[in-house]
A and B are shown apart, each in its own frame.
Chain A
Amino acid sequence: MKLLRIKAIAKKELIQIRRDPLSLAMAFLMPVLLLFIYGYAITFDIDKISTVVFDRDNSSLSREFVSQFHESRYFRVHSYVDSYRELDPYLDGGKAKVAIVIPEDFSKNILRGLNAQVEVLIDGSDSNTATIAQGYALVIAENFSQRTKGVRITPLIDSKNRVWYNNELKSRNFIIPGLISIIMAVIIALLISLTIAREWDRGTMEQLISTPVKTSELILGKLIPYFLIGFIDTIVTVLMSTVVFHVPLRGSVTLLLFLSSIFLFGGLCFGILISIAGRTQLVASQAALITSFLPAFLLSGFIFSISNMPKPLQIITYFIPARYFVTILKGIFLKGSNLKILFMEASLLTLFAVLVFIAANRKFKKRID
């Protein structure tokens, strides 16, 4: 392998990227934009669910019950109605996600020590919010009934929950680190998937393969500029996460950058492999998008917990490098994990990178047919 050749190819690629506004935008604008959009858009935090109340009892007890909802930060009671018919426009029109209907005999039953039933109507079209709202409503109702019974049963086990690593339970804190890995996976795959295919499309490859250049020199030379771009992108997105989104970065920055480099290298080799196999720019870029974005988004554990997936899908996730990188980033950001803890993930990422690099070298033929 000759360093001079690798340098010549890397330099040429850099000049070409610099002169292509589309590549530049994709390299430096897209990660920032994606992080902003997804960082603000994806959130699983539910608070202040808009709520409407139909209080048929209208007693001091019923009003106290409603105030329990209002005082929790999860519900915001903003309207009161006087009939079932008036409820409909609220739920149908999306003006309220939850409706609480208190029957006429609510306070009477409580005072008699009977079961008092309350009707809670939830807009199920957003099932995620609905499930969470249901849970909260149940807790509030239980607390209320215990209190009104006047007896407090001392529980045998007093459980007090403490949340580790993300003690504010902000969903943004675990979404953003995962998001960085998704963005990196997609951007680098898209950028580099064009490089080999473009040379075939333009006819420059025929000249290149008539020279003594070696496949490994060609691949490494093409990798270097994109690696640099990916590295800069990593620094920018990590900075944005901490400065703009206030995600705590508890672990070592050096370790984060080191492991990111391994992920980048593997992702770039994979992109090159696609570019070699795809031959035309169109096929290569489509293939890169599908094979990087979908698995990284759906199967990396970024949003959908891997342990909840059906067994066959769980097995597939082991072959997706983003899975390990999501674990690494979440670990370093939120738990301050060190290399000892992340050793398995780091090794598998390295293994993936090496295997894909070898595959790309094998797949590339210095021939036209």
Chain B
Amino acid sequence: MKSEGENDIAVRVTNLRRTFGDFVAVDDIDLAVQRGEIFGFLGPNGAGKSTTIRMLCGLLIPTGGAGTVGGFDINKESESIKQIIGYMSQKFSLYDDLTVEENINFFGGIYNVPREKKATQKEWVLGMAGLTEERKTLTRTLAKGFKQRLALGCAILHEPSIIFLDEPTSGVDPISRRNFWNLIGEMSAAGKTIFVTTHYMDEADYCDRLALIYRGKIIAEGTPTELRKKYMTRHVLEVAVDNVVEALDVLSRNGIDSAIFGSTLHVTVDDIITGKEHIERAIEKSDMTVKNIEHIVPSLEDVFVTLIEVS
């Protein structure tokens, strides 16, 4: 018998494990994704994100562990899972030598979209991808951002309830990335469950809940706010200097943890007042000037940098 709450679970895995020879890509992870939420699966390249997503989509057999996607067993019912999911792989996977429209028609056929729905679904994808005018264009010639949106459209033509997106925004320009996340938000509002991986830490705030995977293990999990509160007991100071690279060097020689954020440095300290003094002293000793120091709300990136340093 399933408990009440189990019906609200879209994805659940326990002790999920996958090895490639001696290499442990995914190391006994546990996950639970609620229906209708945007679940962000974050981690640096090679952390095990794609391997996990492929196991959930029935493309890789787990070495160990159990799990369900939409209620179907990932070990035994991978073909049933494929009926209810949409999957967009990391590598662009539409046909380059087909036009926009031909790609949509192809996936419409593959997903068995009913005839009466086909035309409206096609127009919907074209509109969503912003390619209504370019329907006769060869996919090869599209810009990366358009390709990604078209790929997303093709992956969800059959209106799946659970959508897996593997690094959908990698290599896409910032504006296209924002547009893409808006699309993800709309789909979530329409009741879809979205499982999305990314290595852009700044995208984490778009997600309802997050899990951070590092070297095959989940090292943190929760909502963005929870993560900030739970793991960021130290303070972050934003330090503005003329030469960030040199200043970073100076600070690390003085044993102060810092990281470059754009044109500033983010320095994590235990105490704000003494921290400030330490920083100013160290930098001014090296004949540089501190233009400004400000106590800021830590970004999720700060959280992850700290977490990864700890583990």
Contact = CB atoms under 8 A, between A and B. Distances in A.
A359 interface: no
Interface in A309-336: none
B89 A210 contact: yes
Query: Which are the 3 A-B pairs with shortest beta-carbon distances?
Result: A8-B109, A207-B93, A210-B87
Most B CB atoms within 10 A — which of A12, A19, A209?
A12
A213 B58 CA distance: 13
B268 to A, nearest CB: 40
Nearest to B103: A12
Given A12-B106, A210-B85, A204 B94 contact: yes
Given A12-B95, A203-B93, A369-B60, A7 B109 contact: yes
A143 interface: no
Chain B CB within 10 Å — which of A16, A204, A206, A207 has the most?
A207
A204 B93 contact: yes
Interface in B78-97: 78-79, 82-83, 85, 87-89, 91-97
Interface in A1-49: 2, 4-5, 7-9, 11-12, 15-16, 19-20
A208 to B, nearest CB: 7
A208 B151 CA distance: 12
Interface string A201-218: 011101111111100000
A366 B57 CA distance: 11
A68 B78 CA distance: 82
Contact of B112 (A5, A208, A210): A5
Given A11-B106, A15-B102, A368-B54, A210 B59 contact: yes
A203 B92 contact: yes
A4 B88 CA distance: 22
Contacts, number: 85
A5 B59 contact: no
Among the interface residues B83, B89, B105, which one has the most CB atoms of the partner chain A within 10 A?
B89
B206 interface: no
B67 interface: no
A366 B89 CA distance: 15
A11 B89 contact: no
A367 interface: yes
Given A210-B57, A212-B111, A367-B59, A8 B98 contact: no
Query: In the complex, which of the residues A4, A16, A210, A212 has the most CB atoms of chain B within 10 Å of its own CB atom?
Result: A210
Contacts of B216: none
Given A4-B109, A16-B98, A211-B82, 20 more contacts: A2-B112, A5-B109, A5-B110, A8-B105, A8-B108, A9-B109, A9-B110, A12-B98, A15-B97, A203-B89, A203-B91, A206-B59, A207-B88, A210-B57, A210-B82, A210-B87, A211-B110, A212-B83, A366-B82, A367-B59
Interface residues of A, number: 27
A202 B92 CA distance: 9
B107 interface: yes
A202 to B, nearest CB: 7
22 contacts: A2-B112, A4-B112, A8-B106, A8-B109, A11-B105, A12-B95, A15-B97, A20-B97, A202-B96, A203-B89, A203-B92, A206-B89, A208-B110, A210-B57, A210-B89, A211-B107, A211-B111, A212-B110, A212-B111, A367-B60, A368-B60, A369-B61
B152 to A, nearest CB: 12
Given A206-B59, A368-B54, A369-B61, A11 B85 contact: no
Contacts of A367: 58-61
B167 to A, nearest CB: 13
Interface of B: 54, 57-61, 78-79, 82-83, 85, 87-89, 91-98, 102, 105-112, 151, 154-155
Contact of B109 (A11, A207, A210, A369): A11
Given A12-B106, A16-B98, A211-B110, A206 B93 contact: yes
Interface string A185-215: 0000000000000000011101111111100
Contacts of B154: 207
A368 B93 CA distance: 14
Given A207-B87, A212-B82, A367-B60, A16 B110 contact: no
Nearest to A204: B93
A4 B58 CA distance: 23
Interface in A233-256: none
B59 A16 contact: no
Contacts of A207: 87-89, 93-94, 151, 154-155
Contacts of A9: 106, 109-110
A365 to B, nearest CB: 10
A49 B266 CA distance: 94
A369 B78 CA distance: 14
Contacts of B111: 211-212
Contact of B59 (A7, A11, A12, A368): A368
Contacts of A369: 60-61
A8 B102 contact: no
A4 to B, nearest CB: 5
Contacts of B78: 366
A16 B96 CA distance: 10
Contacts of A209: 59
A340 to B, nearest CB: 43
B137 to A, nearest CB: 13
Contacts of B89: 203, 206-207, 210
A210 B58 CA distance: 7
B97 A16 contact: yes
Contacts of B91: 203, 206
A368 B61 CA distance: 9
A209 B93 CA distance: 11
A8 B110 contact: yes
B301 to A, nearest CB: 29
A67 B58 CA distance: 84
A11 B95 CA distance: 13
Contacts of B155: 207
Contacts of A368: 54, 59-60
A160 B59 CA distance: 72
Contacts of B98: 12, 15-16
